[in-house]
Structure 1
Amino acid sequence: MKKTSISIDMEAEKLRALRFYTEKKETTLETELEDFLAKLYEKYVPAQTREYIESMEEPAEPPRPRTKRQPRTPVDTPTAVSEVVV
């Protein structure tokens, strides 16, 4: 499904502190916001509407069958030529 961006304003110092402390918890602000938005979506969008939207999603491509690779043939490398001083 196509994604879009949203934008909100926040005081710079508060945002910097928030990023600092989310990193200490080994996460990111973006991950936390995505999780929170998913919870809001579940809370406010009726189940039938969510089901309808999910049914409109493009099906995932089936995995392509793996083909056997032909073994590589060794590349002929020229032999080193020694310099002969006469």
Structure 2
Amino acid sequence: MEKNEIMLSFDSEKMEALVFYLKKENTTVQKKMDEALRLLYEQTVPEPLREYLDAKSAPVRPRRPPRPSQPKAETPKSASASTGGGKEAGV
């Protein structure tokens, strides 16, 4: 889905203080604003519409081509039976 950019105005001194204290929490204004916008979206847009939009924007995974069939490797049992190493060889 295409993303839109939102511009906000905020007092520069307040912004500096906010950035300073968010750094102490190992986060950023961008991350906090993304979280706040997501919560606003979830509280405002009805769930059926959100589910529809999520399904509509889900990436379509391409189908993998079928694997080519490979011959099965011979097991040790059948190899020993063909060489006469079994019990029947002594009879």
Question: TM tier, shorter chain?
Answer: 0.5 to 0.7
**1:6 matched residue in structure 2:** 6
1:30 alignment partner AA: Q
Larger radius of gyration between Structure 1 and Structure 2: 2
Query: Partners in 1 of 2:29 and 2:9 — Cα distance?
Result: 14
- TM-score, scaled relative to structure 2: 0.63
State the superposition RMSD in angstroms. Answer: 2.2
Once residues 60 and 30 of structure 2 are traced to their aligned partners in structure 1, the CA distance between those partners, rounded to angstroms, is 25
Q: Match for residue 20 of structure 1? A: 20
Q: Quick check: 1:44 aligned with 2:44?
A: yes
- From the superposition, tell whether residues 60 and 30 of structure 1 become closer, same or farther in structure 2 (CA, over 3 Å): farther
TM-score normalised per structure 1: 0.66
Identity of aligned residues (%): 38
How many angstroms does 1:56 deviate by? 1.1
Structure having the higher helix fraction is 2
Q: Which amino acid aligns with 1:39?
A: L
Cα distance in structure 2, aligned partners of 1:31 and 1:20: 14
Query: Higher relative contact order by CA 8 Å / sep ≥ 6: 1 or 2?
Result: 1
Shift of 1:58: 4.0
In the comparison of the two structures, how many residue pairs are matched?
65
Q: Unpaired runs of 5+ in structure 1?
A: 65-86
